[in-house]
Amino acid sequence: MVLALQSHESAPSDVRIRRGPDGLHLFNRKTGLNVLLDEITVSAASWDAAPRHVSIALTNACNLSCHYCYAPKHQASLEFNQVIGWLDELNRNGCLGIGFGGGEPTLYKRLSELCEYAARNTSLAVSVTSHGHLLTDALIRRLAGNVHFVRISMDGVRATYESLRGQSFTGLLERVKTVKKIASLGINFVVNAETFPDLPEAIQIAGDLGASEFTLLPEVRAAAGLGIDESTRTSMLKWIANYRGLLPLSISETGANGITACRPFATEDGLRAHAHVDASGILKRCSYDDDGVIISERGIMTALCRLRQRA
Protein backbone atom coordinates (compact mmCIF):
# COMPACT_ATOMS: atom_id res chain seq x y z
CA MET A 1 0.00 0.00 0.00
CA VAL A 2 1.27 3.45 -0.90
CA LEU A 3 0.33 6.49 1.19
CA ALA A 4 0.25 9.84 -0.58
CA LEU A 5 1.22 12.57 1.87
CA GLN A 6 1.10 16.28 1.18
CA SER A 7 3.67 18.74 2.46
CA HIS A 8 2.92 22.36 3.35
CA GLU A 9 3.72 23.51 -0.18
CA SER A 10 0.58 21.75 -1.45
CA ALA A 11 -3.12 22.48 -1.03
CA PRO A 12 -4.53 22.25 2.51
CA SER A 13 -4.48 18.70 3.83
CA ASP A 14 -5.20 16.98 7.14
CA VAL A 15 -1.86 15.15 6.92
CA ARG A 16 1.41 16.97 6.49
CA ILE A 17 5.15 16.49 6.75
CA ARG A 18 7.50 18.63 8.84
CA ARG A 19 11.25 18.58 8.32
CA GLY A 20 13.46 19.19 11.31
CA PRO A 21 16.63 18.25 13.19
CA ASP A 22 15.03 15.07 14.56
CA GLY A 23 13.94 13.76 11.15
CA LEU A 24 10.64 13.72 9.26
CA HIS A 25 7.55 14.38 11.37
CA LEU A 26 4.21 13.19 9.95
CA PHE A 27 1.15 14.70 11.60
CA ASN A 28 -2.59 14.21 11.12
CA ARG A 29 -4.50 17.18 12.50
CA LYS A 30 -7.85 15.35 12.58
CA THR A 31 -6.74 12.29 14.52
CA GLY A 32 -3.80 13.85 16.36
CA LEU A 33 -1.54 11.02 15.17
CA ASN A 34 2.19 11.86 15.20
CA VAL A 35 4.83 9.71 13.49
CA LEU A 36 8.51 10.66 13.75
CA LEU A 37 10.85 9.06 11.23
CA ASP A 38 14.01 9.74 13.21
CA GLU A 39 16.13 7.37 11.13
CA ILE A 40 15.90 9.90 8.28
CA THR A 41 18.48 12.69 8.40
CA VAL A 42 17.28 16.07 7.16
CA SER A 43 19.89 18.68 6.22
CA ALA A 44 19.74 21.91 8.22
CA ALA A 45 19.06 23.85 5.03
CA SER A 46 15.80 21.91 4.62
CA TRP A 47 14.45 22.36 8.14
CA ASP A 48 11.09 24.11 8.31
CA ALA A 49 11.55 27.63 9.64
CA ALA A 50 8.40 28.14 11.71
CA PRO A 51 7.94 26.79 15.25
CA ARG A 52 6.12 23.48 15.51
CA HIS A 53 3.30 25.20 17.43
CA VAL A 54 2.36 28.85 17.98
CA SER A 55 -0.07 30.07 20.63
CA ILE A 56 -1.92 33.31 19.92
CA ALA A 57 -3.62 35.40 22.61
CA LEU A 58 -6.42 37.02 20.61
CA THR A 59 -7.50 39.34 23.42
CA ASN A 60 -6.66 40.21 27.01
CA ALA A 61 -10.37 40.49 27.83
CA CYS A 62 -11.78 37.98 30.30
CA ASN A 63 -14.99 37.97 32.34
CA LEU A 64 -13.29 36.15 35.25
CA SER A 65 -10.72 37.48 37.72
CA CYS A 66 -8.69 34.51 38.96
CA HIS A 67 -6.06 35.85 41.36
CA TYR A 68 -3.30 33.64 39.93
CA CYS A 69 -3.86 34.58 36.29
CA TYR A 70 -0.65 35.60 34.49
CA ALA A 71 -2.33 37.17 31.42
CA PRO A 72 -1.76 40.93 30.94
CA LYS A 73 -4.57 43.10 32.27
CA HIS A 74 -4.34 46.08 29.89
CA GLN A 75 -6.86 46.24 27.07
CA ALA A 76 -5.55 44.71 23.86
CA SER A 77 -6.96 42.72 20.97
CA LEU A 78 -5.46 41.52 17.69
CA GLU A 79 -6.70 42.74 14.32
CA PHE A 80 -8.44 40.01 12.32
CA ASN A 81 -6.69 40.46 8.96
CA GLN A 82 -3.31 40.67 10.67
CA VAL A 83 -3.88 37.28 12.30
CA ILE A 84 -4.97 35.83 8.94
CA GLY A 85 -1.67 36.95 7.44
CA TRP A 86 0.29 35.30 10.26
CA LEU A 87 -1.60 32.04 9.79
CA ASP A 88 -0.71 32.00 6.09
CA GLU A 89 2.95 32.68 6.88
CA LEU A 90 3.15 30.00 9.53
CA ASN A 91 1.45 27.50 7.25
CA ARG A 92 3.89 28.17 4.41
CA ASN A 93 6.85 27.74 6.74
CA GLY A 94 5.99 24.37 8.27
CA CYS A 95 4.09 25.16 11.49
CA LEU A 96 1.85 22.25 12.46
CA GLY A 97 -0.63 23.90 14.77
CA ILE A 98 -1.90 27.13 16.27
CA GLY A 99 -3.67 27.61 19.58
CA PHE A 100 -6.07 30.49 20.14
CA GLY A 101 -6.24 31.74 23.72
CA GLY A 102 -6.39 34.95 25.71
CA GLY A 103 -7.56 36.32 28.05
CA GLU A 104 -10.69 34.46 27.07
CA PRO A 105 -10.77 33.78 23.31
CA THR A 106 -14.55 33.35 23.18
CA LEU A 107 -14.77 37.11 23.87
CA TYR A 108 -13.00 37.73 20.54
CA LYS A 109 -15.91 38.48 18.20
CA ARG A 110 -14.42 36.81 15.13
CA LEU A 111 -13.07 33.65 16.77
CA SER A 112 -15.22 31.28 14.72
CA GLU A 113 -14.19 33.04 11.49
CA LEU A 114 -10.50 32.66 12.34
CA CYS A 115 -10.93 28.98 13.10
CA GLU A 116 -12.86 28.45 9.87
CA TYR A 117 -10.19 30.23 7.84
CA ALA A 118 -7.37 28.18 9.38
CA ALA A 119 -9.23 24.88 8.93
CA ARG A 120 -10.25 25.50 5.32
CA ASN A 121 -7.33 27.48 3.93
CA THR A 122 -4.32 26.05 5.74
CA SER A 123 -3.13 22.67 6.98
CA LEU A 124 -2.71 23.95 10.54
CA ALA A 125 -4.26 22.08 13.44
CA VAL A 126 -6.56 24.49 15.29
CA SER A 127 -6.95 24.46 19.06
CA VAL A 128 -8.77 26.78 21.46
CA THR A 129 -8.03 27.20 25.18
CA SER A 130 -11.00 28.52 27.15
CA HIS A 131 -12.52 28.60 30.62
CA GLY A 132 -15.54 27.10 28.87
CA HIS A 133 -18.43 29.08 30.32
CA LEU A 134 -18.96 31.22 27.20
CA LEU A 135 -18.88 28.27 24.81
CA THR A 136 -22.57 28.55 24.04
CA ASP A 137 -24.42 26.03 21.91
CA ALA A 138 -24.51 28.60 19.07
CA LEU A 139 -20.74 29.19 19.21
CA ILE A 140 -20.02 25.48 19.41
CA ARG A 141 -22.09 24.94 16.27
CA ARG A 142 -20.03 27.58 14.45
CA LEU A 143 -16.77 25.98 15.62
CA ALA A 144 -17.81 22.46 14.60
CA GLY A 145 -15.57 21.12 11.84
CA ASN A 146 -13.11 24.01 12.24
CA VAL A 147 -11.50 23.20 15.60
CA HIS A 148 -9.48 20.04 16.17
CA PHE A 149 -8.76 20.32 19.90
CA VAL A 150 -10.30 22.27 22.79
CA ARG A 151 -8.48 22.79 26.08
CA ILE A 152 -10.64 23.65 29.07
CA SER A 153 -9.21 25.25 32.22
CA MET A 154 -10.40 23.36 35.30
CA ASP A 155 -8.50 24.54 38.39
CA GLY A 156 -9.78 22.40 41.23
CA VAL A 157 -13.21 20.75 41.38
CA ARG A 158 -16.55 21.56 42.97
CA ALA A 159 -16.21 24.03 45.88
CA THR A 160 -12.52 24.73 45.17
CA TYR A 161 -13.23 25.51 41.54
CA GLU A 162 -16.21 27.70 42.39
CA SER A 163 -14.30 29.70 45.00
CA LEU A 164 -11.42 30.36 42.58
CA ARG A 165 -13.35 30.88 39.38
CA GLY A 166 -16.63 32.25 40.70
CA GLN A 167 -18.54 30.01 38.31
CA SER A 168 -20.68 26.89 38.62
CA PHE A 169 -18.68 23.66 38.42
CA THR A 170 -21.80 21.78 37.30
CA GLY A 171 -22.26 24.38 34.57
CA LEU A 172 -18.68 23.84 33.43
CA LEU A 173 -19.19 20.09 33.12
CA GLU A 174 -22.29 20.63 30.98
CA ARG A 175 -20.34 22.90 28.63
CA VAL A 176 -17.49 20.40 28.41
CA LYS A 177 -19.85 17.56 27.48
CA THR A 178 -21.17 19.66 24.60
CA VAL A 179 -17.69 20.66 23.42
CA LYS A 180 -16.59 17.02 23.39
CA LYS A 181 -19.12 16.37 20.61
CA ILE A 182 -17.18 18.54 18.14
CA ALA A 183 -13.49 18.18 19.05
CA SER A 184 -10.94 16.26 21.05
CA LEU A 185 -10.70 17.46 24.63
CA GLY A 186 -7.87 18.38 26.97
CA ILE A 187 -7.96 19.67 30.54
CA ASN A 188 -5.61 22.37 31.86
CA PHE A 189 -5.15 22.29 35.64
CA VAL A 190 -3.30 25.04 37.52
CA VAL A 191 -1.51 23.42 40.48
CA ASN A 192 -1.15 25.38 43.71
CA ALA A 193 -1.82 24.78 47.39
CA GLU A 194 -5.56 25.32 46.88
CA THR A 195 -6.04 23.01 43.91
CA PHE A 196 -3.54 20.22 44.56
CA PRO A 197 -5.80 18.23 46.97
CA ASP A 198 -8.40 18.03 44.17
CA LEU A 199 -6.00 16.59 41.61
CA PRO A 200 -7.01 12.88 41.91
CA GLU A 201 -10.72 13.68 41.54
CA ALA A 202 -10.02 16.09 38.69
CA ILE A 203 -8.19 13.33 36.81
CA GLN A 204 -11.12 10.99 37.36
CA ILE A 205 -13.63 13.57 36.12
CA ALA A 206 -11.50 14.37 33.08
CA GLY A 207 -11.38 10.69 32.17
CA ASP A 208 -15.13 10.34 32.59
CA LEU A 209 -15.61 13.34 30.29
CA GLY A 210 -13.56 11.65 27.58
CA ALA A 211 -10.50 13.89 27.75
CA SER A 212 -7.45 12.64 25.86
CA GLU A 213 -4.91 14.77 27.76
CA PHE A 214 -4.50 16.31 31.22
CA THR A 215 -1.99 19.16 31.49
CA LEU A 216 -0.51 20.26 34.81
CA LEU A 217 0.31 23.96 35.05
CA PRO A 218 2.28 24.65 38.24
CA GLU A 219 1.26 28.19 39.19
CA VAL A 220 3.65 30.84 37.96
CA ARG A 221 4.29 33.88 40.16
CA ALA A 222 2.27 36.67 38.54
CA ALA A 223 -0.13 39.48 39.43
CA ALA A 224 -1.60 38.65 42.87
CA GLY A 225 -0.59 35.01 42.58
CA LEU A 226 2.41 33.87 44.59
CA GLY A 227 3.23 30.87 42.45
CA ILE A 228 3.36 27.25 43.57
CA ASP A 229 5.04 26.91 46.95
CA GLU A 230 7.89 24.45 47.50
CA SER A 231 5.86 22.09 49.69
CA THR A 232 3.09 21.79 47.08
CA ARG A 233 5.62 21.36 44.31
CA THR A 234 7.31 18.52 46.21
CA SER A 235 3.94 16.86 46.78
CA MET A 236 3.09 17.27 43.09
CA LEU A 237 6.36 15.64 42.02
CA LYS A 238 5.67 12.68 44.32
CA TRP A 239 2.13 12.38 42.99
CA ILE A 240 3.37 12.37 39.39
CA ALA A 241 5.97 9.71 40.20
CA ASN A 242 3.25 7.46 41.63
CA TYR A 243 0.62 8.15 38.96
CA ARG A 244 -0.63 4.98 37.29
CA GLY A 245 -3.76 6.27 35.61
CA LEU A 246 -4.69 5.74 31.97
CA LEU A 247 -5.20 9.40 31.08
CA PRO A 248 -1.93 10.81 29.63
CA LEU A 249 -0.31 13.58 31.67
CA SER A 250 1.64 16.53 30.33
CA ILE A 251 3.18 19.50 32.12
CA SER A 252 4.06 23.04 31.15
CA GLU A 253 7.71 23.46 30.20
CA THR A 254 8.15 26.15 32.86
CA GLY A 255 7.02 23.68 35.51
CA ALA A 256 8.90 20.64 34.31
CA ASN A 257 12.16 21.14 36.23
CA GLY A 258 12.90 18.04 38.26
CA ILE A 259 10.50 15.88 36.27
CA THR A 260 11.52 13.11 33.90
CA ALA A 261 9.35 13.76 30.86
CA CYS A 262 9.10 12.19 27.44
CA ARG A 263 10.67 14.47 24.83
CA PRO A 264 10.15 12.86 21.41
CA PHE A 265 11.81 15.83 19.68
CA ALA A 266 15.16 15.81 21.43
CA THR A 267 16.75 18.67 19.50
CA GLU A 268 13.75 20.61 18.14
CA ASP A 269 13.31 22.75 21.23
CA GLY A 270 13.08 26.44 22.10
CA LEU A 271 11.72 28.57 19.28
CA ARG A 272 11.79 25.63 16.91
CA ALA A 273 9.19 23.99 19.12
CA HIS A 274 6.99 26.85 20.28
CA ALA A 275 6.41 30.60 20.22
CA HIS A 276 3.71 32.85 21.62
CA VAL A 277 2.00 35.97 20.28
CA ASP A 278 0.40 38.20 22.88
CA ALA A 279 -2.71 40.33 22.36
CA SER A 280 -0.54 43.40 21.62
CA GLY A 281 1.10 41.64 18.67
CA ILE A 282 4.40 40.91 20.40
CA LEU A 283 6.15 37.61 19.62
CA LYS A 284 7.63 35.90 22.68
CA ARG A 285 9.30 32.63 23.55
CA CYS A 286 6.39 31.79 25.85
CA SER A 287 3.36 33.48 27.37
CA TYR A 288 5.21 34.11 30.67
CA ASP A 289 7.97 36.20 29.08
CA ASP A 290 8.03 39.92 29.87
CA ASP A 291 9.52 41.02 26.56
CA GLY A 292 9.65 40.01 22.94
CA VAL A 293 9.65 41.39 19.39
CA ILE A 294 6.85 43.48 17.89
CA ILE A 295 5.46 41.83 14.77
CA SER A 296 5.69 44.57 12.13
CA GLU A 297 4.15 44.76 8.68
CA ARG A 298 7.06 42.57 7.53
CA GLY A 299 5.36 39.62 9.17
CA ILE A 300 5.70 37.01 11.87
CA MET A 301 8.62 35.13 10.32
CA THR A 302 10.73 38.30 10.28
CA ALA A 303 9.89 38.83 13.95
CA LEU A 304 10.84 35.21 14.62
CA CYS A 305 14.27 35.73 13.05
CA ARG A 306 14.86 38.79 15.21
CA LEU A 307 13.76 36.91 18.36
CA ARG A 308 16.13 34.04 17.56
CA GLN A 309 19.00 36.46 17.09
CA ARG A 310 18.54 37.64 20.68
CA ALA A 311 19.50 34.22 22.03
What residues form DSSP beta bridges with 283?
277, 293
Q: Which of 2-11, 42-51, 88-97, 169-178 has the lowest mean pLDDT?
A: 2-11
Q: Which residue has the higher pLDDT, 262 or 64?
A: 64
- Predicted local distance difference test score (pLDDT) of residue 15: 95
CATH for the stretch 50-309: 3.20.20.70
Distances (CA, A) of 129 to 8, 108, 256: 25, 13, 20
pLDDT tens string 39-60: 999 999 999 999 999 999 999 9
Asked if pLDDT for residue 211 goes beyond 90, the answer is yes
Distances (CA, A) of 273 to 84, 91, 100, 127: 21, 15, 17, 16
As a whole number, mean pLDDT of residues 205-230 equals 90
- Predicted local distance difference test score (pLDDT) of residue 254: 73
As a whole number, mean pLDDT of residues 225-235 equals 91
pLDDT tens string 60-106: 999 999 988 888 889 999 999 999 999 999 999 999 999 999 999 99
- Predicted local distance difference test score (pLDDT) of residue 260: 65
Residue spans of the domains in the chain: they are 50-309
Q: What 8-state DSSP symbol labels residue 249? A: E
- Predicted local distance difference test score (pLDDT) of residue 70: 84
Q: CA-to-CA distance for 52 and 16, rounded, in angstroms?
A: 12
- Per-residue pLDDT band at 225 (split at 50, 70, 90): low
Q: CA-to-CA distance for 267 and 226, rounded, in angstroms?
A: 33
- Predicted local distance difference test score (pLDDT) of residue 1: 28
